Amino acid sequence: MFSVKTLLPAAVAAMVSTAAFGADLPMPQPVYQQPVVAEPCCASAWYLRGEVGVGIMNRANLIYEPAPANIGNGFQFQHWSIDDTAIFGVGVGYEFNNWFRADVTGEYRTKAAVNAFGVTIGPTTFGDAYTGSIRSVVVLANGYIDLGTWNCLTPFVGAGVGVAFNQLADFVDTGFAASGGAGIGTNPTETHLAWALHAGISYAVTQNFTVELAYRYLNYGSITDTVHCLASCSADSFKWDNLSSNDLMLGVRWRFPPATGIVVPPPAISTRG
């Protein structure tokens, strides 16, 4: 039989051996989670834009403004026209959220040829042919509403207001018959109110690069030139009024996104029970 005196030393030896073995085991290390990135909702961002297009000109009003000496001379236009123009534009804008953005754009509208023919009916009937070109620089502040996105396609509408700098260049009057007048214009430049209505659709090629196809109605004022006669006659003025265009535009936007999010410090998982 084993007595208490013989079991006690054996129990103490076993406890000491277990403690020594436990001291040799590696201590558990705390485990950390990966940093958490909190994505911002509806983040705003700056963007640059560029565009090219064609302006399909509407028929402007051509108004004859006679010199005092020519009032009642019986002159009237038979027909007139204005050709289409090419458009080159750039701009900078800001996305306020995922449905509203705004930008400021500047564009150059190339020379649109103008032609007119008028007749003076009186004791002697004669005609005058007019030729020249209108070119413009238009600066607009625009706002757009994005109507939702489906498969990277986003339809939008918008409006803009600004100024147009219009020039009537090389306006020439060619007279026919002995009594027909002849003269040249003064190449004037005028500043007028401009306004626009936009509609289109954009396609997000990447998160920061977008291509858009848009229609725009643009109204950009008028331009008046005075034709000085080459012979002895009074100088008349001619006003191309209500200049407007249906513009088809192909554009790109490059977006400069803000920081992708806020890094939240990772919490440590405690190992203590």
Encode pLDDT of 109-124 as tens digits: 999 999 999 988 877 7
**pLDDT tier, 137 (very low <50, low <70, confident <90, very high otherwise):** very high
Quick one: average pLDDT of 4-14? 51
Domain residues for 209? 45-255
Residue 1 lies in a domain: no
Residue 13 lies in a domain: no
pLDDT tens, position by position, 208-240: 999 999 999 999 999 999 998 877 677 889 999
pLDDT for res 44: 86
**pLDDT tier, 21 (very low <50, low <70, confident <90, very high otherwise):** very low
pLDDT at 201 over 80: yes
pLDDT tens, position by position, 159-176: 999 999 999 999 999 876
Residue 36 lies in a domain: no
pLDDT at 4 over 50: no
- Give the integer Cα–Cα distance in Å for 126 and 76: 11
Residue 272 lies in a domain: no
Number of domains in the chain: 1
Residue 273 lies in a domain: no
**pLDDT tier, 2 (very low <50, low <70, confident <90, very high otherwise):** very low
Residue 69 lies in a domain: yes
Buried b (16+ CB within 10 A) or exposed e, 175-200: beeeebbbbebeeeeeebebbbebeb
pLDDT for res 209: 96
- Give the integer Cα–Cα distance in Å for 47 and 209: 9
Residue 267 lies in a domain: no
pLDDT for res 123: 73
The CATH number of the domain holding residue 71 is 2.40.160.20
pLDDT for res 204: 96
pLDDT for res 175: 76
pLDDT for res 154: 96
- Give the integer Cα–Cα distance in Å for 32 and 187: 75
Question: What ranges make up the beta strands (E) of the chain?
Answer: 31-32, 36-38, 45-57, 61-65, 75-82, 85-95, 100-120, 126-146, 153-175, 183-184, 189-204, 209-219, 223-229, 236-241, 244-256, 262-264, 268-269
Contact between residue 154 and residue 145 where contact means Cβ atoms under 8 Å apart: no
Quick one: average pLDDT of 72-80? 88
pLDDT tens, position by position, 37-54: 444 555 689 999 999 999
Dihedral sign, Cα of residue 223, residue 227, residue 228, residue 233 = negative
**pLDDT tier, 29 (very low <50, low <70, confident <90, very high otherwise):** low
pLDDT at 36 over 60: no
Residue 262 lies in a domain: no
Give the chain's mean pLDDT: 84
Structure tokens at 52: 């090219």
